[in-house]
């Protein structure tokens, strides 16, 4: 009789231990930095741990972009076994071109028990990230205040007369040159070239591909030339220079000429990456730079094919 009681107690103890061992799932979130420059990348790592043969897991569903952030890359979902537990992890690379303090998204992970109808929903942490420009140089020492200088009592009347005479002479020369140009007016050669606007742009893009993007200075020149090629192409086909327009002004100009929203978005991504290289000292990966060139080439082909911008 005592032997049977002992066996029952051992069975009950074993079941209790097995039940306690099946721990509830956990989700942990890690981020490599909370302060970045505009265009700089951050690594957002998610690790979920749960008992094996206990749950069906529905992993996070990430969109290509979220508020104030853009997803640059998503690693493969890695699954491993550790101490009778399943460990699932994935790293998401974010970047941002909006200055300010923004929170990363909180993603949901669903755990469906194999022997229960109640689903466990866990969320990743929403972490605040400061996005800003390059910090100002505060190493300069303060300069001494210079003493007040006494006024000079010299008479500058004749200086003014001589200055006015030379100014009048310059104005007369400019007027004569303008009159001469109008008399011999010919079609402006500013926007003419040996090749058509499209052929010239494609040739310049092909030449740009030859740059070695492992070199920092080449990368800067690469993105500067991308914006220059697009602006010059638009300037030639409309016979009006837009070379001094900012990225936002150019995007508005294209939108007003009925360029599709998706195409404007692609152009914006390529040009703003170049702005980040120029103003925020951001150095993109080679593949990202090559994608920017492809977007600019597609945009030029799109404008050439649809003839949306007129002269």
Spatial distance between the Cα atoms of 195 and 236, rounded to a whole number of angstroms: 11
Whether 7 is covered by a domain: the verdict is: no
Whether 188 is covered by a domain: the verdict is: no
Spatial distance between the Cα atoms of 45 and 293, rounded to a whole number of angstroms: 30
Partners of 81 in beta bridges: 86
> pLDDT value at position 192?
63
Spatial distance between the Cα atoms of 4 and 160, rounded to a whole number of angstroms: 122
- CA-based Rg of the chain, rounded to a whole angstrom? 33
CATH of the domain at 48: 2.60.40.740
Residue 209 and residue 109 share a domain: no
Of 132, 166, 182, the residue that ends a domain is: 132
**pLDDT tens string 243-302:** 999 989 989 988 888 889 999 899 999 999 989 888 888 888 989 999 999 999 999 999
Asked whether residue 224 carries a pLDDT value surpassing 90, the answer given is yes
Number of domains in the chain: 2
Do the bridges between strand 65-66 and strand 41-51 make them parallel or antiparallel, or are there none, so unpaired? unpaired
Instruction: Assign 3-state DSSP to the chain and report helix, strand, coil percentages, each to 5.
Output: 40, 20, 35
The two structure tokens encoding residue 83: 């101490």
Whether 238 is covered by a domain: the verdict is: yes
- How many alpha carbons fall within 13 Å on the CB side of residue 152? 3
- Expressed as residue numbers, the domain containing 52 is 21-132
Asked whether residue 20 carries a pLDDT value surpassing 60, the answer given is no
**pLDDT tens string 189-203:** 555 667 889 999 999
**pLDDT tens string 76-134:** 999 998 888 899 999 999 988 888 899 998 999 988 888 877 888 899 999 999 998 87
Q: What is the pTM assigned to this prediction?
A: 0.42
Of 132, 154, 177, the residue that ends a domain is: 132
The two structure tokens encoding residue 298: 């597609």
Q: How confident is residue 152, by pLDDT bands cut at 50, 70 and 90?
A: low
Residues 303 and 219 sit within 8 Å (Cβ to Cβ): no
The two structure tokens encoding residue 75: 């690693």
Whether 98 is covered by a domain: the verdict is: yes
Partners of 44 in beta bridges: 31, 92
Whether 33 is covered by a domain: the verdict is: yes
Q: Can you tell me whether residue 105 is helix, strand or coil? A: coil
Average pLDDT of the chain to the nearest whole number = 83
């Amino acid at each position: 009789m005592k032997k049977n009681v002992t066996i029952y107690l051992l069975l009950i103890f074993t079941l209790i231990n097995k039940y306690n061992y099946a721990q509830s799932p956990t989700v942990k979130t890690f981020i490599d930095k909370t302060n970045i420059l505009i265009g700089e990348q951050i690594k957002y790592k998610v690790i979920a741990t749960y008992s094996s043969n206990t749950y069906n897991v529905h992993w996070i569903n990430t969109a290509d972009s979220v508020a104030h952030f853009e997803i640059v890359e998503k690693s493969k979902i890695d699954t491993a076994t550790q101490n009778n537990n399943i460990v699932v992890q994935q790293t998401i690379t974010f970047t941002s071109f909006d200055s300010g303090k923004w929170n990363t998204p909180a993603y949901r992970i669903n755990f469906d028990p194999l022997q229960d109808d109640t689903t466990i929903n866990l969320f990743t942490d929403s972490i605040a990230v400061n996005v800003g420009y390059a910090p100002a140089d505060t190493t300069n020492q303060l300069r001494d205040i210079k003493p007040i200088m006494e006024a000079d009592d010299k008479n500058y009347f004749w200086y003014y007369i001589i200055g006015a005479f030379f100014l009048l002479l310059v104005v007369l020369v400019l007027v004569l040159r303008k009159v001469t140009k109008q008399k011999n007016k010919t079609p402006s050669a500013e926007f003419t070239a040996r090749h058509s606007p499209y052929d010239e742009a494609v040739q310049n893009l092909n030449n740009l591909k030859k740059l070695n993007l492992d070199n920092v200075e080449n990368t800067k020149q690469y993105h500067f030339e991308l914006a220059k090629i697009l602006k010059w192409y638009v300037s030639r086909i409309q016979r009006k220079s837009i070379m001094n327009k900012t990225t936002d002004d150019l995007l508005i100009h294209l939108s007003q000429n009925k360029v599709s929203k998706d195409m404007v978005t692609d152009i914006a991504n390529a040009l703003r990456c170049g702005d980040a290289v120029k103003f925020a000292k951001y150095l993109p990966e080679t593949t990202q730079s090559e994608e920017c060139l492809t977007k600019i080439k597609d945009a030029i082909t799109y404008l050439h094919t649809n003839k949306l911008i007129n002269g």
